[in-house]
Amino acid sequence: MSSELSAQEYWSSNIRLVIGCLVVWFCVSYGLGILLAAPLNSIRILGGYPLGFWFAQQGSLYTFVVLIFFYAWRMNQLDKKFGVEED
Amino acid sequence: MSLQAMTFLVVGATFALYIFIAFRARAATTGEFYVAGKGVHPVLNGMATGADWMSAASFISMAGLIAFKGYDASVFLMGWTGGYCLLAMLLAPYLRKYGKFTVPEFIGDRYYSNAARIVAVLCLITASLTYVIGQMKGIGVAFSRFLELPFETGLFVGMAIVFIYAVLGGMKGITYTQIAQYCVLIFAYTVPAIFISLQLTGMPIPQLGLGSTMAGSETFLLDRLDKTLMDLGFNQYTTRQGGMLNILLYTFSLMIGTAGLPHVIMRFFTVPKVKDARSSVGWSLVFISILYTTAPAVGAMARLNLMETIHPTSGPNAGVWLEYEKRPTWFKNWEKTGLLKFEDKNGDGRIQYVGKNYKDANGQVVENEMVKVDRDIMVLANPEIAKLPNWVIALVAAGGIAAALSTAAGLLLAIASSISHDILKGVMVPDMTEKSELLASRIAMAGAIGVAGYFGLHPPGFAAQVVALAFGLAASSIFPALMMGIFVKRVNNIGAVCGMLSGLGITLVYIFWFKGWFFFPGTNMAPNDAAHWFLGISPEAFGAVGAMVNFAVAYIVSGMTPPPPEHIQHLVDDIRQPGIIKR
């Protein structure tokens, strides 16, 4: 591996990815599920679900699952790009 | 076959299976005992984590909490799953890279301090013990109702089984048993949910049933529930009732607490590689979400069924309160356990179940006569309320017990390994042989079971709330120490210890202030209600504040004291990359 610089770049790409994912994480749960839940409840989805209630009890959970697999996939790519994967 | 005989049969069969697996996969070395030899497939580890994670609180209490709190119970759904994002992105891969046996071991090494390691052990034991209390109570409830033993006897039977099971197992045995327990518990949870969703809405998928219309009607289920509850003086189901700040902080406390719980983190030490740790967290959340997205449907449908039983809105008895003499069998069964209580306050022989300040059509105030409806019974009684066949009811009992046992085993392993590996081997007797270390951890387990049993008999609240306290402790002490250990090189030994102690201290004092010192009844300093809480923050939500105090103190104190030595900086560089750094 080409020294310190590349290690730093790997780490800052990782941090950028984490921050991006956590912004989505925050928006679906705290944003749509809590802070904006009351106004969103006037919208109905999947039949009779008030939207804010749906995000709080269903939607945010689905988003979390997708986020983790997305993060794992991107990190594996970064590992390869910077040549820091195991073995 | 009678329900009780069937329950004995199903529960007995699952016990035989667990003990068989634990016996076949018993641990011979400390590596197998603590981390299952680091050879568990990431998907299987995800399944084991699901069982490890989903406790009596998730299985028994959560849908009940949702049934009675409606939207406000979303804090548990988001909090207990959102933490896995933090675990996947901030902790698990790095700690797996470090590759040691316990969480306090990392803290001790990273902060080059036995003091830090011991503080971490104390935090771990406090959090895990609080958590195990909830499991003990859950086991007691399941046994007392389904095997018709008194609550105390149920608790002792549960303790005995956990004892055999945890001592035989070690991480290797526990892992494979947990995989079996996951299958039992998820089957037991989803089958009744599917039946009930079909009955009420004609839709077999509960997650969609909750958004559907009632069978044979144009009314949406959630609208019906909102109307029924509000007509009887209860709060609206789908909207927020509690304070906004409290809900935000409560969710955050549960999230960082989840990510900081050592018995969960430890599970990711068992996979072969760093990239396995990342994906394994994802698989864990898949398996957990199957139950967690079903729970809101179970909660809402159980609540609707309960209300319709006591006060039907359609049919020949529409609008008439249920006669006490005509109450269904499940009602009588749960009365026997003392978890359901009725008092005929107006002497009319009928059950009035209403919210606060409810007035009937003539403007008369009606008192609530259901003086006790324990939230914990909702999942367990649900199949009976919905008149499902006996084998489904027996299955739910086995599932609840599987959930409590698998979590208890994981927690007891975390406690035992921190005592034997961190305190004895790590600090007090470094030249201990492997054989005596194994023996020590088994003795530590026995002690932990005894203490947990005592608190199970004198619990501070219903199961999910007891568990919520453990999250406050993990949130305020362990999570910040681990995260700073990986992401902030500048944090040193003194900063970390001061941070952990102040975070833990302020959280514990806040909890004890409202819940009584060490939970002894009557020793609380102020009534435990929203009017007395600081800024409306409940004791369970205070972990978030404790964590912020921890971060701030650690950062400031580290800035005023010398930076960590060079070899610690290298250690941090090493754990930040999956591969080995060549110097």
User: How many other C-beta atoms lie within 10 A of the C-beta of residue B388?
Assistant: 18
pLDDT above 90 as % of chain B = 49
pLDDT of residue A17: 97
* Residue A3: band (very low, low, confident or very high) from pLDDT cuts 50, 70, 90: low
Average pLDDT over residues B85-92: 96
* pLDDT over 90 (residue B128): no
Average pLDDT over residues B505-523: 82
* pLDDT over 60 (residue B464): no
> Beta strand A44-45 with B340-342: parallel, antiparallel or unpaired?
unpaired
pLDDT above 70 as % of chain A = 94
- H/E stretch holding B546: helix B543-560
User: How many other C-beta atoms lie within 10 A of the C-beta of residue A67?
Assistant: 23
pLDDT of residue B383: 85
pLDDT of residue B442: 82
Q: pTM here?
A: 0.92
* pLDDT over 60 (residue B196): yes
Question: Does residue A32 contact residue A43 with C-beta atoms inside 8 Å?
Answer: no
Cα–Cα distances (Å) from A24 to A71, B58, B292, B354, B531, in that order, read 12, 25, 20, 41, 34
Lookup: tokens for B97: 């890279």
Question: Does residue B402 contact residue B184 with C-beta atoms inside 8 Å?
Answer: yes
- Which residue is closest to B81 within chain A, CA to CA? A61
pLDDT of residue B289: 97
* Residue B468: band (very low, low, confident or very high) from pLDDT cuts 50, 70, 90: low
Taking CB atoms and an 8 Å cut-off, how many pairs form between chains A and B? 144
* pLDDT over 50 (residue B462): no
Instruction: Write out chain A residues lying below 8 Å of B78, CB-based.
Output: 29, 33, 56, 60-61
Asked if A86 lies within 8 A of B579 by C-beta distance, the reply is: yes
* pLDDT over 90 (residue B430): no
Asked if B85 lies within 8 A of A84 by C-beta distance, the reply is: no
Asked if A75 lies within 8 A of B71 by C-beta distance, the reply is: no
- Rg of chain B over CA atoms, in angstroms? 24
The residues facing A49 across adjacent strands are A45
Asked if B93 lies within 8 A of A75 by C-beta distance, the reply is: yes
Asked if B251 lies within 8 A of A34 by C-beta distance, the reply is: yes
* Residue B525: band (very low, low, confident or very high) from pLDDT cuts 50, 70, 90: confident
Span B201-240, pLDDT tens digits: 999 999 999 999 998 888 999 999 999 999 999 999 999 9
- H/E stretch holding B534: none
Asked if A69 lies within 8 A of B279 by C-beta distance, the reply is: yes
Average pLDDT over residues B6-15: 88
Q: Nearest to residue B32, comparing CAs of B554, B530, B437, B447? A: B437
- Which residue is closest to A16 within chain B, CA to CA? B89
- Which residue is closest to B221 within chain A, CA to CA? A48
Instruction: Write out chain A residues lying below 8 Å of B285, CB-based.
Output: 64-65, 68
Asked if B66 lies within 8 A of A57 by C-beta distance, the reply is: yes
Asked if B66 lies within 8 A of A46 by C-beta distance, the reply is: no
Span B370-379, pLDDT tens digits: 988 888 788 8
- Which residue is closest to B75 within chain A, CA to CA? A56
Q: Which of B38, B71, B572 to mutate to test the interface with A (most CBs of A within 10 A)?
A: B71
CA of A87 vs chain B CAs: smallest distance (Å): 7
- Which residue is closest to A75 within chain B, CA to CA? B275
- Which amino acid is present at B34? Y
Average pLDDT over residues B356-383: 85
* Residue B86: band (very low, low, confident or very high) from pLDDT cuts 50, 70, 90: very high
User: How many other C-beta atoms lie within 10 A of the C-beta of residue B218?
Assistant: 7
Cα–Cα distances (Å) from B567 to A86, B272, B498, B564, B573, in that order, read 22, 26, 22, 8, 10
Asked if A62 lies within 8 A of B289 by C-beta distance, the reply is: yes
Span A36-84, pLDDT tens digits: 999 999 999 888 899 999 999 999 999 999 999 999 999 999 999 988 8
pLDDT of residue B238: 93
